[in-house]
Amino acid sequence: MEVWWYVMDKRKAAGKDYAAGMKYKDISAKYDVPVGTLKSWRTRDGWKKDASASKKVQPKRKKDAPKVAPKIVNELEANNELTEKQKLFCLFYLQRFNASWAYKKAYGCSYEVALRNGPRMLGNAGVKRQLAKLKKQQRAELYVTANDIASEYAKQAFASLGDVLDYKVHEETVQDTDGNVFLDTDDNPVKKHVADIYLKPSDQIDWSLVQDIHRGKDGLVVKLYDKQKALDSLAKLFYNDGDVAKQKLRKLKFEADIVEAKAHILNDKGDDTETKVSKLLDKIDDAIEGNDDHDN
């Protein structure tokens, strides 16, 4: 009788451990019971895992808590110079670089108070030092160089719709509004060439060149980034690098002029091929002469 009660007590205790989330092998070692026996007990007694015991509770993130990298958090935690509110201000400031908004978020005050105290907080020596460190860390993690920026501007400056769109030409018979086919002097149907414009396959498009794309009432609308703005931005970047940079910019401008002239001339349907080539060569000569004038 005592042995039977001992087994039953062990069986109940094993069931409780199983419900608490303990594994078979650990229960087996604890009570010196084979795993097969434990599985049999589970089936007979209907053991079930306690959901609350096995479920990991994730701490809830505060609604307005700033999203920051762990390294930045560690950097702030190591700072004993700032108060907790000042540290929170730094975290929020790194999100938008707006002192008033960051102060309002950190201190929970009115907008009027934040408008006065936010800029003052940036003048705090400790906050200023901490933000300088954190900004430097951000730049190091992003690792964006001036060459990277210049490269993106250059891509935008020399992009064309041909990088995004393609077309196919097919023939159609010319008809009047009633659907009657026009005939030529030999009674043959008059035909015209129609171009169907469509997007290139997605994997062939550099989407960093596209500012906007949507379907309008007349069809697909594709907008690239402003070429002139990109050239102006390149000019500002190159200007600080002296004469070598100016030479590069003139070369870029020269190439852009040639591309534009080529597109304009080749799309002119009024001239034959020889005339188009002649015009293109004249444009190239003009561009070269203009380039030489800048150098002199």
**Comparing C-alpha atoms, which of 98, 80, 224, 96 is closest to residue 159?**
224
Average pLDDT of every residue of the chain? 75
Backbone angles phi, psi at 84, to 5 degrees: -65, -35
For 61-65, 161-165, 174-178, 220-224, which range has the lowest pLDDT when averaged over its residues?
Answer: 61-65
Paired tokens of 183: 């005939």
Residue 292's contacts (CB-CB under 8 Å, 6 or more residues apart) are none
pLDDT value of position 24:
84
pLDDT exceeds 50 at position 34: yes
Q: Say if CB 245 and CB 238 are below 8 A apart.
A: yes
Query: So where are the chain's domains?
Result: 2-54, 70-142, 156-224, 241-295
pLDDT band at 104 (very low <50, low <70, confident <90, very high): very high
pLDDT tier at 218, thresholds 50, 70, 90: confident
Instruction: Give me 280's structure tokens.
Output: 């293109």
Span 273-296, mean pLDDT? 58
- Residue at 10: amino acid letter: K
In this prediction, residue 117 carries a pLDDT of 92
Residue predicted with more confidence, 40 or 117 = 117
More confident residue, 288 or 157: 157
DSSP letters for the chain = -HHHHHHHHHHHHHHHHHHTT--HHHHHHHHT--HHHHHHHHHHHT----HHHHSPPPPPPPTT-----HHHHHHHHT--SS-HHHHHHHHHHHHH--HHHHHHHHH---HHHHHHHHHHHHH-HHHHHHHHHHHHHHHHHH---HHHHHHHHHHHHT--GGGTEEEEEEEEE-B-TTSPBPB-TTSPBPEEEEEEEEEPPGGG--GGGEEEEEEETTEEEEEEPPHHHHHHHHHHHHHTT-HHHHHHHHHHHHHHHHHHHHHHHHT-TTS-HHHHHHHHHHHHHHHHHHHHHHH-
**pLDDT at residue 186 in the model:** 85
Q: Which of 1-15, 56-70, 280-294 has the lowest mean pLDDT?
A: 56-70
Give the pLDDT confidence of 234-252 residue by residue, as tens digits. 777 666 545 555 666 666 6
Q: Determine the pLDDT at residue 121.
A: 92
- Cα–Cα distance list, 53 to 10, 16, 50 (Å): 21, 11, 5
Residue 225 or residue 278, greater confidence: 225
